[in-house]
Amino acid sequence: MADSKPYGVLAEFDTTSGLYHACEAIRDRGFKRWDSYTPFPVHGLDGAMGLKRSKLPFIVLVMGLLGAAGGFLMQTWISVEAYPIVYSGKPMFAWQAFVPVTFECGVLFASFGAVFGMFGLNELPTFYHPCFNSERFLAVTDDKFFIAIEAADPQYDEATLKELFSELGATHVETLEA
């Protein structure tokens, strides 16, 4: 493929500590468009990469509050406006009876916010990624660790990155095609 443009540089590491320290070094050099790939969660890696806190808790909170408010307002409208029936002398607006459904609607909407918010923030489903073209990248599901720096990064220079990864202890470095 002579006319394909490069996606970036992919570096392979054998240990979590090697990946962790490489992520710190890349973060400290100011790279913006890069990611790390591991077969299992590595404690503290998000801090080493300089990632900000996730927006997912805020999405879950807002969706939970909207669900609870929607459930409460629905019950209020039904008992006061749509079907105003007096049961055993109770007032039309008996909010105590609305608590279980309000809670359950809040939980339901919060769980929808968690699932669909996670899909949106993680840009899932992703059916294709240039890393999938690398034969060595298949080991990411087993026992290898990878860092990919995109060519879209302002500081991208292939030769410099290959040298940097060699200094950081990468066992294999390759260029990814888009």
For the whole model, what pTM was predicted? 0.80
**pLDDT number for residue 2:** 58
Task: Classify domain 6-53+129-177 at the CATH topology level.
Answer: Alpha-Beta Plaits (3.30.70)
- Run of H or E including 173: strand 172-177
Helix 56-77 to helix 99-121 angle (10° resolution) is: 150
Per run of 10 residues, the mean pLDDT along the chain (length 178 residues) is: 82 97 97 96 96 96 98 96 89 92 98 98 92 94 96 95 96 94
Q: Cα dist. 126→84, 105, 119, 123, 129 in Å? A: 50, 30, 10, 7, 7
| Domain segments of the chain as ranges | 6-53+129-177, 56-121
**pLDDT number for residue 108:** 98
**pLDDT number for residue 86:** 87
